[in-house]
Structure 1
Amino acid sequence: MIFDTGSTTFMILCTSLVMLMTPGLAFFYGGLAGKRNILGVMMQTFVSLGITTIMWVAIGYSLCFSGGEGGIIGNLDLAFLNGIDFNTPFGPGGKYPLYIFISYQMMFAIITPALITGAFVNRVTFKAYLIFLVLWQLFVYYPFVHMVWGNGILAQWGVIDFAGGVVVHATAGFAALASVIYVGKRRDRQSPPNSIPLVAIGTGLLWFGWYGFNAGSELDVNSITTLAFLNTDVAASFAAITWLIIEWKSEGKPKFVGLLTGAVAGLATITPAAGFVPLWAAMIIGIAAGALCYLAVHLKNKLGWDDALDVWGVHGMGGVFGTILLGVFASTAVNTQAGLLEGDFAFFGKEIAAVVISAVYAFLFTYLMLTIINYITPVKVNVEDEDLGLDASLHGEKAYDEGAL
């Protein structure tokens, strides 16, 4: 089998970029966490690289992309990649091997549950998290991948999600909110970020990797690929500056963490729309992301939800806002779908319905799942372990040799 070397190389690069986002997320969360819980949250993120890969090859890819047309979940016909080898082509055009698509989607599966971990920093036992990691993918992530990207019921209904507003960010963000409500508040909510430079490194890796996340989701190399790439950068930049300005005016000083958080909000919000909206719309989406996600974080604070690293406000609501704005700004001048501005009210309604369904289901199932896991093993750490910090109490390690600082 002869494959197109350019397309194959591009998809290998995009897959590598999305893989890099998981360590980037670990640095981002690790920098924001208090100094006694750096390794705990980084461990939760990195362990998904191993466990999710095993699950994906064994059953995940098959449940997401094999059979089940028009349904909620696929079948196990392709379990352990049965019948697929390195010469099997992807799709009708067959420009590159199916192995690349399998790997690319696996990287999405790895980072999605890892996003949730920032919400419950220093409150969840590692054993409970491992069970959570497995069950959440089986009952939340895999069904939504199949329904939206695997020719399931939402895809056949006409729902579009270019790179994961519904599938990744809304599900993870509202699962994070359910987790926070279930485990309750931290005993010490005043712990500042231990390393803002580490947050900056994480943001840089996330931003860099997001080009593979969004541009690669075209699954080809064409003009839409380049539009998705530029839309990603533009939305992130506009959101970062919007957040910076709002926070500067509100608190009197320009905050670096605010600038970085705004960029991530813009990246999350443009994700579902990157390949379906014109460049001018990406600017508006970026401004909306910076303002609305900032307001969502402040609403969270007023309501007393202890989402430690603002997963719900940035990723969850970013995914919601982005999906709704895709329904507004989608243009046939860019891709195959018209939005509300071009008169397609039905598509706009479908996008709202899809993101509401995903958010509500992810929230309810996650809360129920944590309740069940608690019967198997304690979900919340005890008081002594929380006060000591999870790095020492659960993992027996320290992020830094404090004597050398």
Structure 2
Amino acid sequence: MSMATDNTQQIPTAGEYYQQGAPTPPAPPTAPGGSSFQKPPRRERRGFAGTVGVALLAAVLASGGTYAVTQLTDTGAPSTTASASTTTQNQGTSPTVVQGNATAPDWTAVAKAVSPSVVSIDVTTQQGSGAGSGVILDNNGHVLTNNHVVGDATGNGAIAVTLADGRTFEATIVGTDPSTDLAVIKLASAPSDLTPISLGDSTVLKVGDPVMAVGNPLGLSGTVTTGIVSALNRPVSTSEASPSPNGQTSTDTVVTNAIQTSAAINPGNSGGALVNAQGELIGINSSIASLGGSQGSQSGNIGIGFAIPVKEAQSIADQLIKTGQAQHAFLGVSAKDTTVKDGAAQRAGAQIASVSDGTPAAAAGLKTGDVIIAVDGQPIDSSTALVAQIRAMTAGDKATVTLIRDGARQDVQVTLAVKPATAN
């Protein structure tokens, strides 16, 4: 999908990431209406906004923080609130937990199974230092994390990865993908006893499913928090400002069709695991919502966090490991927010402002003025939602675009292409 005007409704904000040793800043003033749009401080500047229903919330990149070594301990005591669970050993990946009672998961068993597959990441550059999280992908030492956790270390920084047992290894960047905020790093001299995480299926998630977040919030490694899937396919838009080789500042737009969760996510959780009750990876924690605050301030969890679904994360990670780069699906339209009459009702949608020649949209017969209201049955209520849905797909995928043209609904079949390097 062309990104030329995909960012029509962006609300850019700016802030500094939380740096190691930095004091806790005072509570900042709120914007009109009681909300403010802000990011946690860190060494680089980034800004973004996430749209949740009719409220505009900042999806604060959950990265950075002071570093402290805190390890989980296994007391061997059974859960007092859950029925007995069993653990199935998998070949080459973390164990799968078989819950005795799906309505009362044994989180002790899940934490024990997953924690060895989640790492703490410390990044040091000339501009400062920060911390985040990551998940072990394979026995070769590949670790999946967020681009905003390690991106600053490209070319001039040092990355240290600490395993759950306290061992620390140097790491290098394999590849980064700013547009999805994902990156893969690799341990130098990776040990032979790594525990890659078991991958789940984010496409079968349901609102209300129990989940656990595992990571390194505020430098507290090995931290686990639990909650539920609060929403699915939640479009979250962020803007990342990063220096370019010519010394200018470039902006990469991150639009995610995110999993929203109530599991507590705080700065430093970025790149960590969101797992289901079986201990399988279903998402990469990436951002949090914040109410109140202003530029340069730091806010913590308010019960609204966002994770990149594992289906998208795995696809990007596989490409980064193979080639160091990732390809993205492309529709070939620019769009803007609108409302349209749908029968006797009004509904929000993404109105096509232009269709680029030679693109999948043009080949499928999409026209300027069409209002897209769904893609593969997933409601589209804004231009950001359209971008998020397309970016969650893969080049070559066939999609059904539901639109309203001249007051009538119709379905159009589109085959997505690879996004050209020159497309915005």
Q: TM-score, normalised to structure 1's length?
A: 0.22
Query: Between Structure 1 and Structure 2, whose CA radius of gyration is higher?
Result: 2
TM-score (norm 2): 0.21
Q: Name whichever structure is richer in helix by fraction.
A: 1
As a proportion of its length, which structure holds more strand?
2
